[in-house]
Each structure stands twice: as C-alpha cells, then as structure tokens.
Amino acid sequence: MFYRRERYLIQSKDVGTFNQFFDEYLLPVQVKNGAKLVGRWINESEDEFLTIWEYPNYEEFVKIEERIKRDKMYLQMQEQQRKLGRLYTQKVEDILTSTGDYEIPKQIVNVSGYITNQAGELLLVKTYWRSDTWELPGGGVDNGEHLDLALCREIREETGMEVRLFGVSGVYSNGNTVSIVFRGECVGGELKTSTETKEVQFVKIDATNVKHYITRGKFIPRVLDAMKDSCSPYEAFSVRPYARLRRLDGEERYQGDS
C-alpha cells in the first residue's frame, strides 16, 4: 500500500471551522475519487492535525489526484476556502511506505469446495488440526484476493488437484467468519497430501453416509446443501475502471481430466 501523511498547523480558535471544512469538502472529495482515510488526529494543545490517506499504489494515487482536480466538488472546495480565509498556518505533506500488514480483519472470509471427479466421488480432506473429521477442501481468502481464485489455490495446495468451479452452493456465517462453498469438478492434477492435510481422498458420499465422514455439525449442512442439483452464479470484477473478469453461471458440465 501507498500512504500520504498531511500535517496541518492551525490556530486553536479555528479548530471548529477547520473540522467543518474537512468534513464537508476535504473528506468527501477524496473518498469519492478513491482515496481511503486511515485516520485523523489532533494533538493535546489543539493546534495540529495529522491525517493519513491510503492508496493501492503510487500509480493509483496519481490517478486519484487527477480525478479530484477535475471534480466539481474540488472547485466548490476551493471557493469555500477563499471565503473562509486562511484555515491553517502551515501544511506539511510526505509519503509513507508500509513495513507490513498489521490490521486485524473485522471478518474472516473462508472458501471451500464441493469438488467431484468423473465418477461422482467427492474430494475430502482431513487436516492435522481437525483430524477427527473429513471436510471439504478450502481455506482463508487473502486480502484483495478473489474468492474463486482463493479456492482454486487452496485446493491445489491441500490436495494437488486442479479444479473448475460452477458457482456458489451456500453462504454461512458465525458472526466473525463468513464461509462460502462452491461446487466444482476436478480437471487435472495428482492427488497428494500437504503440510496442512494428513489425508486426502475421493469418497462416494450421499445423504445416508455423510455423517460417517463429516463428524462436525457445522460442516454437514454445507455438504448436504451442495449435493443439490443447482448452485447460484458468482461473478468476479475489477473497479476503476469496471471490468468483469469471470462469471460462473452455476452450470455443471464435466470436462474430464487434462
């Protein structure tokens, strides 16, 4: 990430006016055009404001600044600043480079896959930390990673299999963790364990024997829901500019091993 720090020196009597100007003009025009406010602080003597903005990278920062200068709100902001007069005695701006990602996510996003082979057998894994049950392969989504790519990566890492996804069979939440289950098929690869999985195998499974393999209650509905004939579409896209990257329509057509 790319960060910009602004430090404003002001007269204490102007704190209220400066806050109002920031809330009505400075903040909206920045956020509207793609900047993210990390935080804003005032010192104990109330004569210095510190603001930090976040951008994906330097190139995006330049584009955002160009958009801001073309925005009608920017012209309104300049006009308001002329009316108010000098709001601060000094402004210092510099660039910060992050040394790592230390933010704790507000919600954790996990993905897993109901993945079958040509024989209709289900791909299951048994991990070292949940060795009492079989479960669908999957794992956590990295920051900024698309759900479908995260699942394909996790399945490849855990089982050695390459997969094609059809769509979403269910979404589950415990308040802190959101779990999305996809349906899909194996299209290649070689079945193998990993540092995370102590066992991997294809199993002929149905509603009558699912509890023999899936022994943890929260995983059973996910498998039973995914056994149904249809699943919901999924779409991945980018922004600024908008572009649809992939769409899974929920249609299942076995491609065979490659």
Prediction pTM value = 0.64
> Is 103 inside a domain boundary?
no
> Is 64 inside a domain boundary?
yes
Please check whether residues 66 and 134 belong to one and the same domain: no
The domain in which residue 200 lies consists of 108-236
> Is 245 inside a domain boundary?
no
Please check whether residues 15 and 49 belong to one and the same domain: yes
What number of CA atoms fall less than 13 Å from residue 153's CA on the CB side? 12
Question: What's the number of domains the chain is made of?
Answer: 2
In angstroms, rounded to a whole number, what is the distance separating the alpha carbons of residues 9 and 2?
Answer: 24
| Cα 202 from chain centroid (whole Å) | 30
Please check whether residues 197 and 130 belong to one and the same domain: yes
pLDDT at position 98 is: 81
pLDDT at position 257 is: 43
Q: How many CB atoms lie within 10 A of CB 105?
A: 12
pLDDT at position 8 is: 94
- Which of 77, 97, 117 is at the close of a domain? 97
Q: What is the CATH number of the domain that holds 48?
A: 3.30.70.100
In angstroms, rounded to a whole number, what is the distance separating the alpha carbons of residues 51 and 134?
Answer: 49
Ranges in the chain, pLDDT < 70: 252-258
Please check whether residues 77 and 187 belong to one and the same domain: no
> Is 102 inside a domain boundary?
no
